[in-house]
Amino acid sequence: MHHPPVNYNIASTVLRRAELNPERTAIIFEGESATFADFGLRVRRQAQLLKNSGVCLGDRVGYVGFNHPAFLETLFAANVIGAIFVPLNFRLTGEELTFIINDAGIHTLVCDDALIPVVEPVREALCCRQFFASESIASGWRHLSTERDALSPISECVAQAQHDTCLIMYTSGTTGLPKGAMLSHGNIVWNNINAAQAFGSSRDDVLLTVAPLFHIGGLNVMTLGSFHTGSTLVLMRNFDPVQVLKDIETYRVTQMFGAPAMFLFMSQQAGFDTADLSSIEMLICGAAPVPESLIELYGARDISFCQGYGLTETAPFASFLSPEWATSKLGSAGQPPLYTDVRIVDDSNQPLATGERGEICIRGPNIMKGYWNRPEATAAAIDEMGWFHSGDVGYLDEDGFLFICDRLKDMVISGGENVYPAEVETVLYKHEAIAEVAVIGLPDEKWGEAVTAVAALHAGQSLTIEELRDFAQSHLARYKLPLRLHTVDELPRNPAGKVLKFVLKETLSS
């Protein structure tokens, strides 16, 4: 058999750590810690269990549930035998899960006990051959830990080349059905090299993961990288701001990844001012720019933010804003990492000049192989030169820093002018009556599309379109000012928390 010169299999990294640093702490979950030796043994045993259950090279193994060591053990165990891991979003309904599970053709499903009530009613409709419950004994489900602990550990780990698929992660997508992004072992490894170079990983790091692992941010901004560096991972089942503050203190956490809202909720807790956060070297933030007020608030505690931009399809890092630029390049998504390139193109895929807005494209060893069973979608997303087209609008400033303006498909064209909703939303959010707001384009006889604000107001507040336009006119060009205002109780969002603008358009156009 031909052995690849480098075994890119990320499971082999974990097993190697178990050999090199058996005594070091790999993972801490709800007060229980496991060494790399313990963790490696569980992975080898689970790999044997999957193999005994009929999982073969290239088969898909799914996991649905909250953050738990079983998520990571299932991922690595699947990879040990050359199978492909499919993480599933625990917020989805049974119907949504059915589509993804059958689309991916999942052979074996591991399910968190909390999710059994969601999966059980649709079980008959699923293509899976084996069902495991992660913790307790549920009727008709195999019991993961009992069966695993009875087996002897598998000895061989299948060698994988750079382009072999490691996992299929479904992107929530703001339109249409979810698509499975095929991420290769090489994508994961190179993303972690990019990340390590950008924010300097050390094996003495203690990383806290509380963002959901089924998202690329929770899984691969830091979590998988911690097994590369051999550092300690503190894993939390779900986000509880009070518990996060406690865990940072208890375990002397050095880095944590989260969305801005998480850091905001932490700062609003009564114990924030007295919590000992001195161990934190940096907080890594994705999903949205960190507001200046938050940078200042944590800055006063000597804590800096590293901001990143990326997508599921880019595994995820496409750019980084390191702490030294947090204030001088406020609002920027930063610079491309060491081994990845970013460019801005126009409609005909030609590069644009500095400062000009266009589609953000990314190229590098972290770009996905393509979408599972969707050759047309893959061809539309990755051009023949290997550039992945993000669907995001942005520009590069004179220093090569990336600024993101909006989603391409959310752009409103009013009176022939391009209006980027995010820019308008940023201004409208400052109005004291507004709790949350989305800006969309609705058909308009005169303008083609009318800039429309859909807002949820704070309790007891009222707002007219005239008041809103008055408020915004000093901040925005006239063509960007909302022509219409609709108030709603709350904005429709997908499971990842993105506002579903197409739902708003459908409801308000009809």
Specify the pLDDT at position 286. Answer: 81
Whole-number Å distance between alpha carbons of 452 and 455: 10
Q: The domain containing residue 383 runs over which residues?
A: 187-408
Kindly tell me if the per-residue pLDDT of 280 is higher than 80. yes
Specify the pLDDT at position 378. Answer: 95
Pairing of strands 84-88, 60-64: parallel
Q: Report the pLDDT averaged over residues 20-25.
A: 96
Q: Structure tokens of 353?
A: 């000049």
How many other CB atoms are there within 10 angstroms of residue 373's CB atom?
14
Establish if 156 belongs to a structural domain. yes
Q: Structure tokens of 413?
A: 């064209």
Reported as a single tens digit per residue, the pLDDT across 79-93 is 999 999 999 988 888
Whole-number Å distance between alpha carbons of 405 and 496: 20
Q: Report the pLDDT averaged over residues 327-338.
A: 90
Last residue of a domain, one of 388, 408, 428: 408
Establish if 182 belongs to a structural domain. no
Whole-number Å distance between alpha carbons of 286 and 307: 6
Q: Structure tokens of 365?
A: 């060893």
User: Does 364 lie in the same domain as 228?
Assistant: yes
- CATH number, residue 226: 3.40.50.12780
Predicted TM-score of the model (pTM): 0.86
Q: Report the pLDDT averaged over residues 382-386.
A: 97
User: Does 371 lie in the same domain as 252?
Assistant: yes
User: Does 350 lie in the same domain as 328?
Assistant: yes
Specify the pLDDT at position 95. Answer: 85
Establish if 265 belongs to a structural domain. yes
Specify the pLDDT at position 254. Answer: 97
Establish if 170 belongs to a structural domain. no
Whole-number Å distance between alpha carbons of 29 and 179: 31
Establish if 172 belongs to a structural domain. no
Q: Report the pLDDT averaged over residues 369-391.
A: 96
Name the domain count of the chain. 3
User: Does 339 lie in the same domain as 264?
Assistant: yes
User: Does 147 lie in the same domain as 227?
Assistant: no
Whole-number Å distance between alpha carbons of 505 and 49: 48
User: Does 235 lie in the same domain as 92?
Assistant: no
Reported as a single tens digit per residue, the pLDDT across 340-363 is 999 999 999 999 999 999 999 999
Specify the pLDDT at position 370. Answer: 97
Last residue of a domain, one of 408, 424, 457: 408
Tell me which of 42-46, 73-77, 397-401, 445-449 is least confident: 445-449
Reported as a single tens digit per residue, the pLDDT across 105-157 is 999 999 999 999 999 999 999 999 999 999 877 788 999 999 999 999 999 99
Last residue of a domain, one of 385, 408, 431: 408
Establish if 4 belongs to a structural domain. no
Specify the pLDDT at position 176. Answer: 61
CB proximity list for 160: less than 8 A, separation 6 or greater? 4, 7, 8, 9, 12, 79, 82, 166, 185
User: Does 200 lie in the same domain as 287?
Assistant: yes
Find the Cα–Cα–Cα–Cα dihedral 13, 19, 25, 29, rounded to 10°: 60
User: Does 401 lie in the same domain as 423?
Assistant: no
User: Does 428 lie in the same domain as 372?
Assistant: no
User: Does 461 lie in the same domain as 402?
Assistant: no
Establish if 1 belongs to a structural domain. no
Specify the pLDDT at position 420. Answer: 79
Tell me which of 88-92, 145-149, 289-293, 432-436 is least confident: 289-293
Omega within 30 of 0 (cis) for the link into 289 = no
Look at 171 and 229; give whichever has higher pLDDT: 229
- CATH number, residue 462: 3.30.300.30
Specify the pLDDT at position 189. Answer: 97
User: Does 319 lie in the same domain as 210?
Assistant: yes
Establish if 124 belongs to a structural domain. yes
User: Does 194 lie in the same domain as 321?
Assistant: yes
